[in-house]
């Protein structure tokens, strides 16, 4: 009886362990905030508390009146993140490349972040791509040709995001807009690195030049690249808001393996 009980217990425990392993590989999630990618792991850009973190960040920054241009920038920014999310989800459905799925999830968090600003100023939430509809159609058609083309569409989208977000930050005097757009714009550098790395792993030749954004050394680094946007803006003389270091340390997770989170380095927001 005792022997039978031990055998039965062993079978149950073994089945639970096997099930756990199968779920891990099926979902690509190892339960510790990292997505599995072959032999390597990469941190998710945002943890489950990222939206709440944005609300906390904004709580320390007073709202200021918005110009019509700033209202348009918020609506456009939300739609632009939607274009990225939907394009990446579509490409994942075609090619099952996990990088698309991971970055699409990050883009959803970016939409949530912009929504905190839209809600703050009682602005309508865009339900579509607006003026970006034709851009979405073009990029979607390009990515349907081949997996390599889809990955390079990802590079194009992230470069557009960086440029548009940088312009938004340059043309606003509202610290709350600057703080949120710095956060989501900085992540685009990590996304660029992710798509470029996927092209390399797939043994595709990368035809798009992204050296304006990332050097070869940065592409081979596993560290977070989000500081680059703030540093580049500061070099141009753009005044950035100063955020409490305690908030900085709690604002989600970075993309690489250097142990820093998205806001692990408070110098991002200090002039």
- What CATH number does the domain containing 257 carry? 1.20.1260.10
183 within domain boundaries = yes
Q: How confident is the model at residue 59, as a pLDDT?
A: 82
Contact between 161 and 190 (Cβ < 8 Å): no
3 within domain boundaries = no
Q: Region 32-45: what's the mean pLDDT?
A: 27
| Domain that residue 64 falls in | 46-269
Question: Which pTM does this prediction carry?
Answer: 0.73
Closest CA to 137 of 149, 148, 129: 129
Domain count, the chain: 1
Residues 6 or more apart in contact with residue 247 via CB below 8 angstroms: 53, 56, 57, 60, 263
9 within domain boundaries = no
145 within domain boundaries = yes
Q: How confident is the model at residue 221 (pLDDT cuts 50, 70, 90)?
A: confident
Q: How confident is the model at residue 52, as a pLDDT?
A: 40
- d(Cα 33, Cα 21) in Å, to the nearest integer? 16
The strand ranges marked E within the chain are: 34-37, 40-43
Tell which wins on pLDDT, 146 or 268: 146
Q: How confident is the model at residue 242, as a pLDDT?
A: 79
Phi, psi of 202 (to 5 degrees): -85, 0
CA angle 73, 77, 83 (to 5 degrees): 145
224 within domain boundaries = yes
- d(Cα 96, Cα 102) in Å, to the nearest integer? 11
Is the pLDDT assigned to residue 135 strictly greater than 80?
yes
Q: Region 13-30: what's the mean pLDDT?
A: 36
30 within domain boundaries = no
Closest CA to 182 of 114, 105, 258: 114
Element (H, E) at 176: helix 175-201
Q: Region 200-218: what's the mean pLDDT?
A: 94
């Amino acid at each position: 009886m005792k022997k039978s009980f031990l055998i039965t217990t062993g079978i149950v425990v073994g089945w639970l362990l096997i099930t756990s392993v199968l779920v891990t590989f099926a979902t690509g999630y190892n339960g510790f905030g990292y997505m599995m990618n072959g032999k390597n792991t990469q941190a998710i850009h945002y943890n489950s508390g990222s939206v709440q973190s944005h609300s906390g960040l904004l709580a320390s920054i007073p709202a200021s009146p918005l110009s019509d241009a700033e209202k348009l920038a918020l609506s456009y920014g939300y739609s632009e993140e939607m274009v990225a999310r939907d394009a990446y989800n579509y490409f994942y459905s075609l090619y099952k490349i996990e990088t698309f799925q991971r970055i699409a999830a990050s883009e959803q968090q970016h939409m949530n972040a912009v929504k905190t600003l839209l809600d703050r100023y009682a602005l309508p939430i865009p339900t579509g791509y607006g003026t970006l509809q034709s851009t979405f159609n073009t990029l979607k058609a390009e990515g349907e040709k081949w997996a390599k083309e889809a990955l390079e569409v990802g590079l194009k989208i992230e470069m557009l995001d960086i440029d548009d977000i940088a312009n938004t930050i340059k043309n606003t005097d509202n610290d709350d807009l600057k703080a949120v757009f710095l956060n989501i714009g900085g992540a685009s550098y990590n996304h660029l690195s992710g798509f470029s790395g996927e092209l390399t792993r797939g043994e595709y030749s990368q035809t798009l030049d992204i050296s304006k954004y990332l050097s070869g050394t940065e592409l081979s680094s596993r560290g977070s690249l989000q500081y680059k946007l703030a540093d580049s803006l500061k070099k141009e003389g753009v005044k950035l808001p100063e955020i409490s270091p305690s908030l900085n340390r709690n604002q989600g997770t970075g993309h690489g393996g250097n142990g820093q989170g998205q806001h692990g380095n408070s110098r991002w927001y200090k002039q």
